[in-house]
Chains A and B, each alone.
Chain A
Amino acid sequence: MHPIRRQRLQWVALIVVAASIAAALMAYMLGQNASYFYAPSQIVAGEAPIGVNIRAGGMVVEGSVDRSMDSLEVSFIVTDGLENLQVTYSGILPDLFAEGEAAIAAGKLDSKQILQATQVLAKHDENYMPPEVADTISEAYQRKQQHQPEPQEALQ
């Protein structure tokens, strides 16, 4: 390669490397701050500030959704498998909001570590399947659950 072109190639490489280092440093600095929401275990550990707007996300615990009879008030628990977080919300939930599915709530934490949400978003996962397949899977799951008693029951 011609020496001038080799020099230009080195410049091009330098630009890309320098930009990559700058971006890597920025990403490192942002760290978890660039995350869209806190996990319940982060909130329980006291990582999330109280009284300011934050978002919390996790799986809605089965059977935890409690709707008020005479208003749009709803409360539910989200979990990341480690810790639980109570969320209260007044408004219409998105169509895909369901127990056992992921959701993200935005609002303020009160002193009792309950999230007073002003917005609830449903989070979709990366799995796509036809309804018949989903039914077969959930049936198989239920059958398995029936055959295997809970560990506590087995002890008794």
Chain B
Amino acid sequence: MKLNRQWTWFHRLGSPRWFYQKTQCWLPWLGAIAAILLVTGLVWGLAFAPPDARQGNSFRIIYLHVPASFLALAGYYLMAIAGAVGLIWRIKLSFMLMKSAATIGAALTFIALFTGAVWGKPTWGAYWVWDARITSMLILLFLYLGMLVLRHAFTNHESANKASAILGLVGTVNVPIIYKSVDWWQTLHQPATIKLTSAPSMHPDMFAPLLVMILGFYCFYALALILFTRAEILERERRASWVRELVAEKQGGL
């Protein structure tokens, strides 16, 4: 069967053992790049970028708020696609990636909401308002948390995987809503500063460190995803012979 042979590479890609071994050598590189970008971006943004004409120094929280929000949204798609691939091809690794992405996504969404609240008090005069942007972002947090909690409602791994993958897919509709909420409805939250279609409405001296931070967050996200997934692999495959050998090796080395 020619057709089947074409798909074998795809299944090999989905082997937890292959993933665990392959990613081993990526980790130090990814970690170094993420650390360099994040340190450069933070120091540049917090200490060297000029203050904003109206907000003064409080605008600097953008260097955490915007990258965290970006990755919270992009990570949701990654999680939903991993869930879909898992549902269609029944690939174990895919579900492990999905769960890891849910954990990281929940943390990033919380950071986005928290930094937004801290910034909102001095800028708007309120920590929290129920406008379309903030409310839809809170729904995103609940979707991420739901992904994690739903797993515990099932005793068997397979049903838990399927159920949370479906929840993840249903939740994808929220991502474009969050993104467009500031344009569709009148919100207290300002419209996007960085757009794909036009130049950012931000001075280049302030935008450059933001770009570095966004790149740094992408690398950090990749690193965190790989680390969480590796831990998940060891946990779920603990009865596999290669994991037992790995553990025996580590214990022997001690």
| A residues adjacent to B (C-beta < 8 A) | 1-2, 5, 8-9, 11-12, 15-16, 19-20, 22-23, 27, 32, 34-39, 57, 93-98, 101, 104, 119-135
CA distance A125 to B201 in the complex (A): 10
Nearest-CB residue, chain A, relative to B62: A128
The contact sample of 10 A-B pairs, CB cut-off 8 A, is A15-B166, A20-B172, A22-B173, A32-B186, A34-B132, A35-B132, A36-B129, A36-B188, A132-B50, A133-B203
User: Interface residues of A: mostly helix, strand, loop or mixed?
Assistant: mixed
Chain A residues with CB under 8 Å of B126's CB are: 119, 121
Nearest-CB residue, chain B, relative to A101: B54
Chain B residues with CB under 8 Å of A1's CB are: 3, 7
Nearest-CB residue, chain B, relative to A102: B190
A35-B132, A131-B51 are known; give 8 further A-B pairs, CB within 8 A. A16-B172, A19-B170, A36-B187, A96-B55, A119-B126, A127-B201, A128-B203, A131-B52
Contact B203 A129 (CB under 8 A): yes
Q: A5-B89, A23-B173 are in contact. Are A129 and B52 (CB under 8 A)?
A: yes
Contact B87 A122 (CB under 8 A): no
Per-residue 0/1 for B154-185: is the Cβ within 8 Å of any A Cβ (1 yes, 0 no)? 00000000000010011111100100000011
Nearest-CB residue, chain B, relative to A98: B54
| B residues adjacent to A (C-beta < 8 A) | 3-4, 7, 50-55, 59, 62, 84, 87-89, 122-126, 129-132, 166, 169-174, 177, 184-188, 190-193, 201-203, 205-206
Contact B190 A104 (CB under 8 A): no
Q: A126-B201, A128-B202, A129-B202 are in contact. Are A27 and B184 (CB under 8 A)?
A: yes
Nearest-CB residue, chain A, relative to B186: A35
Contact B173 A130 (CB under 8 A): no
Q: A12-B87, A36-B132, A123-B190 are in contact. Are A130 and B52 (CB under 8 A)?
A: yes
Contact B201 A128 (CB under 8 A): yes
Chain B residues with CB under 8 Å of A5's CB are: 88-89
CA distance A27 to B59 in the complex (A): 31
Instruction: Give the one of B53, B171, B184 with max A CB within 10 A.
Output: B53
Contact B190 A39 (CB under 8 A): no
Instruction: Give the one of B4, B84, B130 with max A CB within 10 A.
Output: B84
Chain A residues with CB under 8 Å of B185's CB are: 32, 34-36
CA distance A127 to B206 in the complex (A): 11
Contact A122 B124 (CB under 8 A): yes
CA distance A63 to B203 in the complex (A): 29
Smallest Cβ distance from A20 to chain B, in angstroms? 5
Q: A104-B188, A126-B190 are in contact. Are A12 and B169 (CB under 8 A)?
A: yes
Identify which of A95, A122, A128 contacts B206 (C-beta below 8 A).
A128
CA distance A122 to B123 in the complex (A): 7
Contact A130 B193 (CB under 8 A): no
Chain B residues with CB under 8 Å of A127's CB are: 193, 201-202
Smallest Cβ distance from B2 to chain A, in angstroms? 13
Give the 7 A-B residue pairs with the shortest CB-CB distance, closest first. Answer: A94-B125, A134-B53, A130-B50, A36-B131, A23-B173, A35-B186, A128-B202
Chain B residues with CB under 8 Å of A95's CB are: 122, 125
Q: A8-B87, A130-B203, A131-B50 are in contact. Are A124 and B169 (CB under 8 A)?
A: no
Contact A123 B188 (CB under 8 A): yes
CA distance A46 to B203 in the complex (A): 40
Q: A19-B169, A35-B132, A131-B51 are in contact. Are A124 and B190 (CB under 8 A)?
A: yes
Nearest-CB residue, chain A, relative to B180: A27
Chain B residues with CB under 8 Å of A101's CB are: 54
Chain A residues with CB under 8 Å of B62's CB are: 128
Nearest-CB residue, chain A, relative to B135: A34
Chain A residues with CB under 8 Å of B177's CB are: 23, 27
Chain A residues with CB under 8 Å of B84's CB are: 12
